[in-house]
Amino acid sequence: MIFVNGVRFLSDSSSVEGHDMVMALLEHPDLVSASHSFRGIPERKFSVSEESGSQNSLQAKFVYVFQREYATADPTLVEIVGTDEATTCVGIVIRNCKSGMTSIGHLDSPEVVDIGLSQMLSLVADTDDDAILDVHLVGAFEDSAPQGNDDDDDDTQLEGYSFPLCMKIVKKLVESNVKFQIRNFQVLKHNTRWDSQGNAYPIFHGLLVETSSGSVVPASFDTTTRCPDEIIRRIRLGASFDDPTWTARLLETYETQTDRFVIAPFSWSMRRVRIALVMRHWSDLEILVATSTSPSAEGPDFVDTQKRVWEYLIQHPDWKQTFPSKLPRVFQRTASGNWSMSLER
């Protein structure tokens, strides 16, 4: 069930359609106000800098999740969790205010919502039935609705990728017996800007959460903070679509209790390598159209990232080179808060 500012949202939702639930949240005055406040916060751009005094350097103990990943962080071990690169995806945070346990997920399709939210709740939900979990959603811009369309019943609202995903998330939260307090609903029209030609773009692609306070701000990361094992985790996303064991699930990478990343061994086929050999020669526009749900809205490093993934596959066609003896890749946190690959398995 959903609460907004302590008040039950749609106490009788049995006859309310998912579409109407989303539209009601978008128009809720408290969430409209929260959206205005969120947009007034400058986006924090993070990188790992050797200059510890740098305003934008990320020196805290942090956990970053990629698309279709999730992680649950213990505030005694982790100070910050975050994700970015969301266009039609949703970055979602679920936080237990009593324990500070914070779960962050990067949901990319309606099919991962049911099991994905259950995965996120496994270490966050409290046995106290009166506990209310804070929820923040950022991402999923209006990738289908034309500018100026205020017709809530127009079928165009259901096209594209963003609206069906938001609708599934809201429906799942409303139907749950767990109590969720929606703090930020920075999605769809609340996360959309338009250029002079009427093209839509996300206002924010990501968010960052301070686990101790629950403070949430818009954020972006670079290759030094999208870690550890960036390329392998990106390859795993593609490989997971061919692995039935990951169907409808979020990818597990971070171990909450041990505060380490464990990337379980997975394989990739020669077919994927051959595709990489071909696509690395494509133009930037061709790459965007072929690999993105929102080609015009991706970040400036999207194409370069795709090329780095393909180059790795070409250089390492045999997945066993990456996972010797079929053992997982384990990363321990260093004294500085960064990550180092461990020889221990």
**What pLDDT is stored for residue 206 in this prediction?**
97
pLDDT over 80 at 134, yes or no: yes
CB 27 within 8 A of CB 20: no
Reported confidence tier of residue 344, pLDDT bands at 50, 70, 90:
low
Percent of the chain with pLDDT over 90: 81
Helix runs in the chain, H state only: 18-27, 29-39, 113-121, 162-175, 230-240, 270-279, 284-291, 302-315
Q: How large is the C-alpha radius of gyration of the chain? A: 20
Give the chain's domains with CATH numbers: 2-227 (3.30.1330.200)
Percent of the chain with pLDDT over 70: 90
pTM, 2 dp? 0.92
pLDDT over 90 at 62, yes or no: yes
Looking at per-residue pLDDT, the higher value among 335 and 1 belongs to 1
pLDDT over 80 at 56, yes or no: no
What are the phi and psi torsion angles at 106 (to 5°)? -120, 95
Q: Give the least confident one: 100-109, 180-189, 237-246, 298-307.
A: 237-246
**CA nearest neighbour of 252 among 87, 103, 137:** 103
Computed over every residue of the chain, the mean pLDDT equals: 91
What are the phi and psi torsion angles at 72 (to 5°)? -115, 125
pLDDT over 80 at 150, yes or no: no
**CA nearest neighbour of 46 among 34, 24, 67, 63:** 63
**What pLDDT is stored for residue 55 in this prediction?**
44
For 304, residues 6+ apart whose C-beta sits below 8 A from its C-beta are none
Give the whole-angstrom CA distance, residue 124 versus residue 156: 36
